[in-house]
Structure 1
Amino acid sequence: MDIPVVDFAAWSLRNRNISDEPIHTVKEQLESAFTQVGFVFLKNTGITQEEVDRIMAVSKTFFLQPEEVKIPFRRDSFDVNPNHGWVRLEVERLNPSCPEDLKESFNVTSISPDIKWPSGAAEDFQETQTSFFRRCRQLSLRVLRAMALSLSLDPQVFLSAHRLIGDEGNGTTLRSLYYPSVDHDKVKERQLRCGEHSDYGSITLLFSSSGGLQVRRRSGEFIDVPYVPGAVLVNVADLMQRWTADRFVSVVHRVRLPPVGDSSTRQSVVFFVHPDDDALITCCDGSNKYPPVTGGAYLEERFKASYGAK
């Protein structure tokens, strides 16, 4: 299972105005990738490597601070946005049948200036995170438009359900992840840096600093995803598979442990795109393969599985 690389230059963020006309090849490539593999690398998106390096550097500064500095910003500390904030090491388990994941993260679900943000050593944290959030929002809407066109749908089928990204009423999350070095003598049985899972919402954009991600073939075997500098890895998430009545496929993936003796750390930045909380998701082919569900209700159900058994 090779993950295709698609040139997205026709719809790059460098282009202020885009047209649906010149991307017939892109539409065909995306349709093939998302129906057969569930993943695609996009190059020439307009998001630069310098932007990715900057958010990773600022995020790492925050993660390397003492825990007492990070606790005031922990997830569940923000009444209006309960998913916003820091998640400490070994709290989340994306595979509920396995031990907690060996990672920590910071979730940005709101870019409101009213949210409390880290400062001090991470002085540019708010500006960098919110700026990157906006860039990912722009790119994700262009990808959703292209995905709709690849299915011969009116782009508004997807776009109208994502109007509130970055505001209250939408669960889209920019997540900075830090995987510290692993002491294999202390690793629990079946513990991973990130447990086997599929993503929850519409699509996911992934920016990583190295390898380590693995995707599951239909045979059940996990294969390594190559690191492609400068490219964005985009995958279909569960609600999009449901939305397209299984035309697009959401694939299980994980982050493996490094080999014994490898003390390297790992970073990634992920943009999890979700429909608006009140958007009613029904099969876009008109079938009743899945019952209607709102974006907010579906996301809440999935969060309970990941965080409910701490």
Structure 2
Amino acid sequence: MAASAIPIIDFQKYGLNVTDPKSVTSDVLETTAKEIYDAFSTIGFLYLINHGIEQRKVDAMFSVSNTFFDQPVEEKRKSARVQADHGDHGWVDLESESLNPERNVGDLKEAFNFTPGHDGLWPENPAEFKSTFVSFYDDCRDLTDRILDVLSISLKLQDRYYLRKCHNLMGKKGGATTLRSLYYPSLPESVKPGQVRCGEHSDYGTITLLFQDDIGGLEVMNTDDRYVPAKPVPGAIVVNIGDMMQRWTADQLKGTKHRVLIPEAEVKKHQSRQSVAFFVNPNSDTMIKCLDGSDKYEPISCEDYLNYRFSLTF
């Protein structure tokens, strides 16, 4: 497959369907590790299939999110985002973020963020909103651990569990990994100049797991510096590298820019769009130092790096 295309990687050998991951030896994962490395060192994106997260759980996340976002603003505001204690929990209002600051206008999207250990107010409706988020976070965390193991193998680290250990506070105090449900409402009749649904950006952290609906719209910059559609693949998770991992690997792996533009098709302009992202970050106190010993980038803590990146967005 050309390096300019987003490859599909089969994770059957180490997905959540494998009840005892420690029984799978590293040599069994070498082929999968190479495929993942090839994807992440070129286009920086891949589709992961046979990952083990049940489709019914994905559907439940989309369903409770849709019910929440469909409520009046006054109701959603009761669980508005609280940026305190390094947390970012709660509802994010329409146009309050600009992921590409050069556009000078807010993105046409809403969101709800959940970072365990830093959470605050939860919506009362739907009643199963919190339990669905918590359960889905746990599934994403468990799958992420396994992806990080295979990444450690692909980077030829001596300890296959090295990256997993650097993220062992996921879901606990001191962890910075966030589950975010995103909602792109049907477009207004008038869109501000330069406004998009999600501006051009690369993610900040280690990796991102992205679950898409069937509407599409995500575009990824390929190795030819052209944006190409990352069309939804049934049952697949889109996984991509973030800038912190690019820094950590001294540019071996690529944090790639991506965006969600205003759709050209008139029918899609009047359709809402949803996605769910699991933004993976190391423990807050983890020092991001080039794994190859090159010192290409100065060491920086995860917390300091994220604070710097967030300061440019909000």
Band of TM-score, shorter chain: over 0.9
Please state whether the residue corresponding to 2:60 is helix, strand or coil: helix
Report the Cα distance in structure 1 between the residues aligned to 2:232 and 2:261, rounded to whole angstroms: 14
Q: Distance in 1 between matches of 2:173 and 2:303?
A: 11
In structure 1, what residue type is equivalent to 2:16?
L
Structure-1 residue corresponding to 2:258? 253
Aligned equivalents of 2:85, 2:43: Cα separation in 1: 37
Aligned to 1:273: 280
Give the drift of 1:111. 6.0
Is the contact between residue 82 and residue 120 of structure 2 (CA under 8 Å) also seen in structure 1? Answer: no
5+ long unaligned stretches in structure 1 = none
| Letter paired with 2:110 | E
Deviations 1:52-96 (A, max 9, x none): 11100001111111111111211126x445311110100010001
SS of the residue aligned with 2:266? Answer: coil
Q: Which residue pairs with 2:96 in the alignment?
A: 91
User: Does the CA contact (< 8 Å) of 2:40 and 2:241 recur in 1?
Assistant: yes
- Aligned partner of 2:190 among 186, 190, 214: 186
Per the alignment, residue 303 of structure 1 pairs with 310
Counterparts of 1:232 and 1:224, CA distance in 2 = 15
Q: Tell me: CA distance 1:219–1:190, structure 2 relative to 1, closer, same or farther (3 Å).
A: farther
Which residue pairs with 1:47 in the alignment? 53
* Residue equivalent to 2:146: 142
Q: How much has 1:261 moved relative to structure 2?
A: 1.9
Match of 2:289 in 1: 282
**Number of aligned positions between the proteins:** 303
Identity of aligned residues (%): 44
**Residue identity opposite 1:6 in structure 2:** I
Separation (CA, whole Å) in 2 of partners of 1:163 and 1:296: 15
Give the gaps of 5 or more residues in structure 2. none
**Amino acid of the residue matched to residue 182 of structure 2?**
L
1:202 to 201, 206, 211: 206
Equivalent residue letter for 1:95? N
* Paired amino acid for 2:145: L
The amino acid that maps onto 1:65 is Q
- Residues in 2 aligned to 1:156 and 1:22: alpha-carbon distance in whole angstroms: 15
CA RMSD of aligned residues (A): 1.4
Which residue of the partner structure matches residue 235 of structure 2? 230
Is the partner of 1:141 in helix, strand or coil?
Answer: helix
| Of 26, 33, 42, the match for 2:39 | 33
Q: Does 1:15 align with 2:18?
A: yes
Alpha-carbon separation, structure 2, partners of 1:232 and 1:111 = 25
* Contact kept? 2:65, 2:181, Cα under 8 Å: yes
Aligned pairs (5 A) from 1:58-97: 58-76=64-82, 79-80=84-85, 82-97=87-102
The aligned counterpart of 2:9 is 6
Give 1:273's aligned amino acid: V
Q: Note the C-alpha offset of 1:272.
A: 0.2
Taking the aligned partners of 2:233 and 2:258, their CA distance within structure 1 comes to: 17
- Counterpart-to-counterpart distance in 2, 1:16 and 1:219: 40
Q: What is the identity, as a one-letter code, of the residue corresponding to 1:187?
A: V
- 1:278 Cα deviation from its structure 2 partner: 0.4
In the alignment, which of 168, 180, 199 is matched to residue 163 of structure 1?
A: 168
1:97 partner letter: E
Residue deviations 1:137-196 (CA, integer Å, cap 9, x gap):
00111001101101111233312210111112121100000100112x421112110000
TM-superposed CA distance for 1:260, in Å, is: 4.9
Structure-2 change in CA distance of 1:260 and 1:232 (3 Å): closer
Q: Which amino acid aligns with 1:15?
A: V
1:75–1:82: 8 Å Cα contact kept in structure 2?
no
- Opposite residue 192 of structure 1, the aligned amino acid is V
Paired position in structure 2 for 1:173: 178
Q: Name the aligned partner's letter for residue 5 of structure 1.
A: I
| Shift of residue 287, structure 1, vs aligned partner | 0.8
TM-score (norm 1): 0.94
How many Å separate the matches in 2 of 1:296 and 1:111?
Answer: 15
> Structure 2: how far apart are the matches of 1:292 and 1:11?
32
Query: For residue 31 of structure 1, what is the amino acid of its counterpart?
Result: Y
Q: 1:109 and 1:269 mapped to 2: Cα distance?
A: 14
Is contact 2:116–2:173 with CA below 8 Å preserved after alignment?
A: yes
The answer as to whether partners of 1:169 and 1:276 remain within 8 angstroms in 2 is: yes
